[in-house]
Amino acid sequence: MATIKIPPVLRPSVGGEKEVSASGENVGAVLRELAKAHPATEAQLFSSDGELNRYVNVYLNDEDVRVLEGLGTAVSEGDTLVILPAMAGGGEGPPASTG
Amino acid sequence: MGAPYLENKPCGGRYGDLVAAIGNTPLVELKRLSPKPGVRIWAKLESHNPTGSVKDRVARAMIEDAEARGAISPGQTILEPTSGNTGISLGMICSRKGYPLKVVMPDNVTRERTQLLEMYGAQIVYSEGAKGSNGAVELALEMAGADATYYMPYQYGNEANPRAHYEGTAVEILEELDEVAAFVAGLGTGGTLMGNGRRLKEVLGDAVKVVAAEPMQGEPVQGLRSLDDGFIPPIIDLSLLDRKIFVTNRDAILWTRKLLDDEGLFAGVSSGAIARVAVRIAGELDEGNVVFMVCDDGWRYLSSGIYTRPVDEIENLDSTVWW
């Protein structure tokens, strides 16, 4: 079983939860189980060809799976998947605060 | 026994003006950070550029590229979405070369940022703070679309951005080191990673791993209405990256402090995050050189208190876009 951290933008699709659990041998299987349990996430996570949506970044623990084996990246018991939207960064240290 | 002799230049060079003095930054070994004797960690001190950040290279490359193409001439207004260092670098360069500058940035940046930009004569146009950098990019594109007299270098999509590193930073690193096992930099526009990564891989092949450190923005700034509002800079080619690792704000600040405490290096927050990833990669190697980028110095973050206060007492830790 892996823990999936849900970004604010996806929470309405999972009943407001910050994290959910799902199982699967790889990232694709875990995310498909998430989509099965919460169908509203499917169109947001996956493109029509079954790949990850362009603006969805998924991290296995803290590494982007696109740079690993993509949806085929193996997931072990106790791993955490973090879903984050792709956002513009300057790589230049603003700091800007919303607080 | 004294430290082994390091062959280096007696000074960074002699230049006719400040813009020409961009680049040729020191590469400094940080011995205390190294997790094992065979692995050496080197910091490329981009904070030594004239305005104190790596963006001097990018800003100069974009302006000089536009000049070379005949796309701009003195007197023309330059417009750029930037919440920080690129604006400051453009400010210095545009004021030297006679281009008025308009910078679009979120309305919640620190006072140091605003002051630095105004100091160099830039005009600031504010975008909605809650939309972060995405909002600044959106507004700048809108403004450029509505007024053809603006010239927008657009660092996110300008090939002169990675080229500044391909023809500059990476060449400087290769002049000093025959072998690089890993190159670690922050992922923002992607320019640093793409330009350095391409050159290093061309010269060293797959022996060099190109590693991205990226900010894990706190939840309050993940303010997208929908995932379709996401943004990926057009110059990024993910296939060039071997690893892409996120760093939380908390870890970025802890490691910024570690750079200061262990090595005496007063760096900005992105450099702390990048150092954290560099040390992790170093720990996975048996031997070799790990080079990481110190993007800017700490002066422009002083008011946030990150160098003096316990991390748990830092205000707006998660709601601040630190890098």
Q: Which residues of B touch A63 (CB under 8 A)?
A: 243-246
pLDDT, tens digit, 9 for 90 and up, residues B269-310: 999 999 999 999 999 999 999 999 999 999 888 888 899 988
Q: Within an 8 Å CB–CB cutoff, is residue B244 touching chain A?
A: yes
Closest chain B C-alpha to A62 CA, distance in angstroms: 5
Q: Within an 8 Å CB–CB cutoff, is residue B187 touching chain A?
A: yes
CATH of B19-53+162-313, one of 3.20.10.10, 3.30.1330.40, 3.40.50.1100, 3.40.50.300: 3.40.50.1100
- The per-residue pLDDT for B250 is 93
Which residue spans of chain B are classified as CATH 3.40.50.1100? 19-53+162-313, 55-146
Question: Is B229 in contact with A85 (Cβ distance < 8 A)?
Answer: yes
Q: How many domains does chain A fold into?
A: 1
A50 occurs within a structural domain: yes
How much is the average pLDDT of B246-258? 94
Closest chain A C-alpha to B23 CA, distance in angstroms: 17
A54 occurs within a structural domain: yes
Question: Is B244 in contact with A66 (Cβ distance < 8 A)?
Answer: yes
A96 occurs within a structural domain: no
Q: What's A43's domain CATH number?
A: 3.10.20.30
Statement: the pTM of the whole predicted model exceeds 0.90: yes
Which domain does A32 fall in, by range?
Answer: 2-85
Give the pLDDT band (50/70/90) at residue A94.
Answer: very low
pLDDT, tens digit, 9 for 90 and up, residues B52-70: 999 999 999 999 999 999 9
A92 occurs within a structural domain: no
Q: What ipTM was estimated for this complex?
A: 0.89
Question: Is B133 in contact with A44 (Cβ distance < 8 A)?
Answer: no
Helix residue ranges per DSSP H, chain B: 55-68, 85-97, 111-119, 132-146, 160-164, 170-176, 191-204, 249-263, 269-284
A93 occurs within a structural domain: no
Pick from B191, B220, B228: which is nearest to A55 by CB?
B228
d(CA B137, CA B232): 12
Tokens 């792709």 sit on residue: A86
- Active-site annotation holds for B270: yes
A91 occurs within a structural domain: no
- Active-site annotation holds for B133: no
Pick from B85, B212, B214: which is nearest to A93 by CB?
B85
Question: Hey, what amino acid is at B267?
Answer: A
Instruction: Quote the Cα angle for B261-A89-A60, to 5°.
Output: 80
A44 occurs within a structural domain: yes
Do B129 and A98 form a contact (C-beta atoms < 8 A)? yes
CATH number corresponding to B55-146: 3.40.50.1100
**Token duo for residue B150:** 């603006």
Give the pLDDT band (50/70/90) at residue B45.
Answer: very high
Q: Within an 8 Å CB–CB cutoff, is residue B313 touching chain A?
A: no
For the sheet containing A63-64, what is the strand order? A19-22, A2-5, A80-85, A56-60, A63-64, B243-248, B209-216, B182-186, B288-294, B39-45, B27-29
Question: Is B320 in contact with A66 (Cβ distance < 8 A)?
Answer: no
pLDDT, tens digit, 9 for 90 and up, residues B133-150: 778 888 999 999 999 999
Backbone angles phi, psi at A67, to 5 degrees: -90, -10
Burial of A14-36, coded b for 16+ CB within 10 Å and e otherwise, reads beeeeebebebebbbbbbbbbbe
Percent of chain B with pLDDT over 90: 73
Pick from A10, A55, A91: which is nearest to B270 by CB?
A91
Residue B320 pairs with which residues in a beta bridge?
A97
Do A86 and B231 form a contact (C-beta atoms < 8 A)? yes
Q: Within an 8 Å CB–CB cutoff, is residue A82 touching chain B?
A: yes
Do B129 and B117 form a contact (C-beta atoms < 8 A)? no
Which residue on chain A is closest to B226 by alpha carbon?
A9
Question: Is B113 in contact with A94 (Cβ distance < 8 A)?
Answer: yes
DSSP string, B110-147: -HHHHHHHHHTT-EEEEE-GGGHHHHHHHHHHHHHHH-
- Residue B216 or residue B22, greater confidence: B22
d(CA A46, CA A25): 18
A99 occurs within a structural domain: no
Q: Within an 8 Å CB–CB cutoff, is residue B189 touching chain A?
A: yes
Catalytic residue among B34, B47, B53, B55: B55
Pick from A53, A67, A93: which is nearest to B244 by CB?
A67
pLDDT, tens digit, 9 for 90 and up, residues B76-101: 999 999 868 899 999 999 999 999 99
